[in-house]
Amino acid sequence: MIISAAPTIEAEPYDFDFHPATCALLIIDMQRDFLEPGGFGEMLGNDVSQLRRTIAPNQRLLAAWRAAGLHVIHTREGHRPDLACLPPAKRIRGRAPKTIGDPGPMGRILVRGQSGHDLIPELQPLPEEPVIDKPGKGAFFATDLHAILQNRGITQMIVTGVTTEVCVNTTVREANDRGYDCLVPEDCVGSYFPEFHDMGLRMIKAQGGIFGWVSHSDKIHAALGRRLEAAA
Ligand code: TIU
């Protein structure tokens, strides 16, 4: 089957020149500790429903991406059980009664191997999809993500997940500085704070797309559909 030239994805500040074969879907930190009631996010006083609205659009996009045979990468924020990769400043930040590494309702908070650290059941990875364990907010810091992308010839990413202004924004900025084009579908990212979500998206697309593009998953599905039609 001959795959056609790049379809575009309608986006802001202008259309995204989509190259599916070298475009990865990067799903950031869709973990139980951030999204499920009783997890770390809720323990910090946050409203997890703001994040849970992103589950269904992410499931739909992931299914379409897999059906098209394209690259998928997942990330998880967390730390080694011995906490050797946890900066003391991150551990004490927030001055909450419980913090990273302490026992929580779903095991030790944000510790690798604990059930709260797992990806949510709705978005489980397939064996061939890399899962990047990251100690920071950005997915490039102290991980092998850049090497994996380079080895696979990936030049662009659709970045989804949580939260819009923290791990998604930090990762998009890191990716942009390394030369990747990133598009963020607004319905597939979420924040505990709607105003930060809005501003987080506006920051990405401002100034002619200073960090990347913003769109909606419907536009990505449309572009994938046009790609199939052209290949038929
Ligand atoms: N994944 C991610 O965004 N980690 C956070 O700690 N986010 C908050 O918004 N707290």
Percent of the chain with pLDDT over 70: 97
Is the overall model pTM greater than 0.85, yes or no?
A: yes
Query: Average of pLDDT values for 201-228?
Result: 96
Residue 97's CB: how many other CB atoms inside 10 A? Answer: 7
Q: From the CB of residue 15, how many other CB atoms can be counted at a distance below 10 Å?
A: 15
CA distance 17 to 175: 17
Name 133's Cβ contacts closer than 8 Å, sequence gap at least 6: 75, 76, 78, 112, 143
Mean pLDDT, residues 179-208: 98
- Tens digit of pLDDT for each residue in 39-62? 889 988 899 999 999 999 999 999
Question: Which residues, including other chains, have CB under 8 Å from residue 132's CB and lie 6 or more apart?
Answer: 73, 74, 75, 76, 139, 143, 144, 145, 148
Give the pair of three-digit tokens for residue 24.
């990865």
CB of residue 33 inside a 6 A radius of ligand 1 = no
User: How far is the centre of ligand 1, averaged over its atoms, from the C-alpha of 45 (Å)?
Assistant: 13
Tokens 């990716």 belong to residue? 175
* Confidence grade of residue 15 (pLDDT, cut at 50, 70, 90): very high
Residue pLDDT, tens place only, 128-150: 999 999 999 999 999 999 999 99
How far does the centroid of ligand 1 lie from the alpha carbon of residue 63, in Å? 25
